[in-house]
Amino acid sequence: MASVILRVYRYMARDWKTLTLTIALLLASIALAMMIPWYVRDLLNSIMVFDVSRLLPSSLMIVILTFLEGVVAFLDRYLFEMIAQRTIYRLRLDLYRHLHELSYGFYDRVDVGEIIVRITNDMDTLNGFISFATMQFLNAIFSAVIALSILLSLNVELTLVAATLLPLLILIRTLFDRKIFPIAEKSWRAMSQFNSTIQEYTSTVKILKALGVEDVFGRTYRSRLSSLYDLNMKFERYMSISWPAVGLVASLIQITVYLYGGSKVISGALSIGDIVAFLLYLSMLNWPLMGIGFFFMNYQRASVSGSKIFEILDREPEVKEQPNAVELKDVRGHVQFDNVTFGYDQNKPILMNLSFEVKPGEKVAIVGPTGSGKSTLIKLIPRFYDPTSGRILIDSVDIRNVTVKSLRKNVGIVHQDIMLFAGTIKDNITYGKSNASMSEITEAAKAAGIHDFIASLPKGYDTDVAERGVTLSGGQRQRIAIARTLILNPKILILDDPTSNLDAETEATVVEALRKLIEGRTVFIVTQRLSTLKLADRILVLDNGRIVEEGTHEELMKMSGVYAKLYNAQFAHQEPLAGGVEKVGLGNR
C-alpha cells in the first residue's frame, strides 16, 4: 500500500515549487510557535522574582509571535490546499482520459456503480488525505523533532521520564491499524454495491412503478444500505476508540511530568517557569503524536481508495492503437472480413472463420437466431473489440493499422437504444461536429424528417431536452440521432436494430429517414423488422458464429434453409401491421 501513496505524492510533486514554499512556511510557522513558550517562561520567572521591567516586553513578544504564527500558518494552509486540489484535478482528469481509452470489454466486466465510486468517493477520500492528513503529518514530524530537541535542551532527565510511555502509544496505533484496514476495504466494496443499486434504480424506476414492485427493489436497497451503514459504524467505532486511547496515553505522559517535575520544583532544581515551559513544549509534542496517529488512520482508507483508482489507471486497453497508425482518409467503404474469429472468452469463440466482402455503397443485412453473433460482428467494425484471429479491412487497409479516431469518424452507428445528452436539440445534433453551421444542422434535420417538428417548438433548435431525451417520443429521439449521424457524413454505417422499439406509424417515418441516411454509404443492418430488412441489397445469415447462407430475401427463401425456417416460424403467420409495415422476428440480438 505504501507504493500507492507514493504514487499519489508523485502527482503532488509536480507542484514542487509551491510545495517547497509551503514546507518553508510550515517550518517558519513551527519556529514562531516554538518561541512562544520561551517567552512564557521568562514572563512567569519575572513574576516569581517580582521583576516588573520584563513583564511588558515578554507579553508583547508573545502577542507578536502569536499574530505572525497565525498569518504564516494561514498562507501555508492555503497553498497546501491549492496543491491538494491540483493533485486531485490531475488524477480525475487522467482517470477520465484513461476510462475513455479503455475498450468495451472493460465496461462489460466492471459495474457502473464501481466506476462512479472511484471517480467520486475515492477521489474525495484522497483529497482529504492529501489536504489535511498529509499537512498534519508534516506539521507533526517537524514539530516533534523541534519540540524534542528543545525538551532535551531544557532537561534531559525530565524528557526521558516523559518518553517512557511512548512505546505504549506505538502499540496502540499498531493494534488499531490492523483492525481498521480490513474494515476500510469492506466499506469500499459496500459503497460500490450501493452506488450500483442507485444506478440500477434510476434506470428502471419507471418499470418498477409500472409493475408495482417498488417494495421488491426496496428490500435490495435497504439491505445494501444497512450493510454500508454497519461497516461505516464499525469503522467509526474503532476510530472513536483510538482517539481517546491516544489521548489517554498523552495525559499519562503529562501526569508523569507533573509528578516528577513537581518534585524537582519543590527541591529547587527547576523553577515554575521552567516546568511550565517544559509542559508547553511537551503539549506541542503530544499533538504531533496524535497527528501522526490521525495520519495513519486516514492512510488506511486512502490506500484502499488510491489502489482502486490506480487499478483503473494501470489497466491496459484491449484495443490498442499502433504507434505508427495512419489516418483513414478518402474512405470508399469497401469492407472485408478475412477469416475472422472472435470470442469474449478466447476459449469460447462466438464468431468463427468469417470471410465475406461488402462493396462500396452496398447494403448488407445480418440475421440469425438468438446468440448467433450478429451484434458481436458489427462491434468489430469500429474496433470496439479486436478479432482473436484474422483481419478486417477497409479499402484494403487493416483497421488495426489506422488511428481509432479516424476509423470511428468514418463508421456511423444508429443504435436501438438512443442516448440524447442533456442540452439543446442543436447540441445533440452537433455532438460529434461542434463546428457545424446552421445550414448543415437544418439540412441534416430535414433529411432525418425531424426539422418540421423542431421548427414548431417555441425555442426551435435551442429547445432543451432532458437527459436521455425522455421528454421526446421514441421516434423523435431516433430521428434526432439519425440527424446526428448524418451531419458526421460517415462512409460506413451500422444500423443496430434502430426501429425495434417503435410503433408501426413511427417506424414508417423513421424508415423513410433511414432511406435518405443510407444513400451512397456502405451499410450493415441488424434488424428484427422486415421494413428495415428491405433496405438491404444482400442478407448474410449467421448460425453458431458462422455464415451459413447468403443472398437476397427471395433467394434465401428458395433455399428453404436457416433463413426460411426463421422467417416462417416468426413471420409467416403474422398479419401486416398498420401502415403497411410488417414485423419479422429474425432473431434477437
Q: What is the pLDDT of residues 245-274, one digit of tens each?
A: 777 877 787 788 778 888 887 887 777 777
Helices (H), 212-271: 214-267
**Residue found by looking up cell 398498420 in the block:** 578
Lowest-pLDDT choice from 333-342, 355-364, 457-466: 457-466
Q: What is the pLDDT of residue 516?
A: 80
Task: Report the alpha-carbon distance of residue 58 to residue 137 in Å, rounded.
Answer: 31
- Tell me, rounded to whole angstroms, the distance of Cα 181 from its chain centroid: 23
**Per-residue pLDDT tens for 329-341?**
889 999 999 999 9
Pick from 42, 27, 29: nearest CA to 277: 42
Q: DSSP states of 498-519 as a string? A: TTTTS-HHHHHHHHHHHHHHHT
**Per-residue pLDDT tens for 38-85?**
888 778 777 776 777 778 888 898 899 999 999 999 999 999 999 999
Q: What is the pLDDT of residue 398?
A: 94
Mean pLDDT estimate for the chain? 82
* Residue 219 CB neighbour total at 10 angstroms: 9
Q: Do 327 and 150 form a contact (C-beta atoms < 8 A)?
A: no
Q: Do 552 and 533 form a contact (C-beta atoms < 8 A)?
A: no
**Per-residue pLDDT tens for 374-406?**
889 999 999 999 999 999 999 999 999 999 989
Q: What angle do CA 205, 209, 212 make, to 5 degrees?
A: 135
- Tell me, rounded to whole angstroms, the distance of Cα 407 from its chain centroid: 26
How large is the greatest C-alpha to C-alpha distance in the chain, in angstroms? 120
* Residue 355 CB neighbour total at 10 angstroms: 12
Give the three-state DSSP class for 546. Answer: strand
Pick from 249, 282, 207: nearest CA to 37: 282
Give the three-state DSSP class for 463. Answer: coil
Q: Per CATH, which fold does 414-489 belong to?
A: Rossmann fold (3.40.50)
Residue 358: strand pairing partners: 335
Q: Do 547 and 561 form a contact (C-beta atoms < 8 A)?
A: no
Residue 359 banded pLDDT, cuts 50, 70, 90: very high
Q: What is the pLDDT of residue 584?
A: 43
Answer yes or no: is pLDDT of 466 > 70: no
Q: Model-level pTM greater than 0.85?
A: no
Percent of the chain with pLDDT over 70: 89
**Per-residue pLDDT tens for 480-495?**
888 888 888 889 999 8
Task: Report the alpha-carbon distance of residue 151 to residue 188 in Å, rounded.
Answer: 43
Amino acid at 356: F
Lowest-pLDDT choice from 373-382, 462-471, 473-482, 558-567: 462-471
Residue 577 banded pLDDT, cuts 50, 70, 90: very low
- Domain 326-410+492-502+521-589: state its class: alpha beta
3-state helix, strand, coil in the chain (%, to 5): 65, 10, 20
Q: Do 581 and 500 form a contact (C-beta atoms < 8 A)?
A: no
Q: Do 525 and 536 form a contact (C-beta atoms < 8 A)?
A: yes
**Residue found by looking up cell 502499540 in the block:** 171
Domains 326-410+492-502+521-589 and 414-489 share a fold: yes
C-alpha cell at 276: 511550565
CATH code linked to domain 2-313: 1.20.1560.10
Alpha carbon distances (Å) from 121 to 129, 195, 313: 12, 10, 16
Task: Report the alpha-carbon distance of residue 226 to residue 419 in Å, rounded.
Answer: 33
Give the three-state DSSP class for 453. Answer: helix
- For residue 345, the 8-state DSSP code is B
Q: Exposure pattern of 513-548 as b/e (b: 16+ CB <10 Å)?
A: bbeebbeebbbbbbbbbbbbbbbbebbbbbbebebb
Q: Do 488 and 515 form a contact (C-beta atoms < 8 A)?
A: no
First to last CA, the chain: 44
Domain boundaries defined on the chain? 2-313, 326-410+492-502+521-589, 414-489
Helices (H), 129-213: 135-154, 156-162, 166-211
Residue 134 banded pLDDT, cuts 50, 70, 90: confident
Task: Report the alpha-carbon distance of residue 533 to residue 587 in Å, rounded.
Answer: 13
Pick from 192, 294, 181, 292: nearest CA to 242: 294
Answer yes or no: is pLDDT of 324 > 60: yes
Q: Which residues contact 154 (CB under 8 A, 6 or more apart)?
A: 274, 277, 278, 281
C-alpha cell at 336: 472485408
Task: Report the alpha-carbon distance of residue 384 to residue 519 in Å, rounded.
Answer: 25
Sheet holding 492-496, edge to edge: 411-414, 492-496, 522-526, 363-367, 538-543, 546-551
Identify the residue with better confidence: 369 or 169: 369
Identify the residue with better confidence: 419 or 327: 327
Residue 365: strand pairing partners: 525, 539
Ranked by mean pLDDT, which of 122-136, 244-258, 537-551 comes out on top?
A: 537-551
Answer yes or no: is pLDDT of 310 > 60: yes
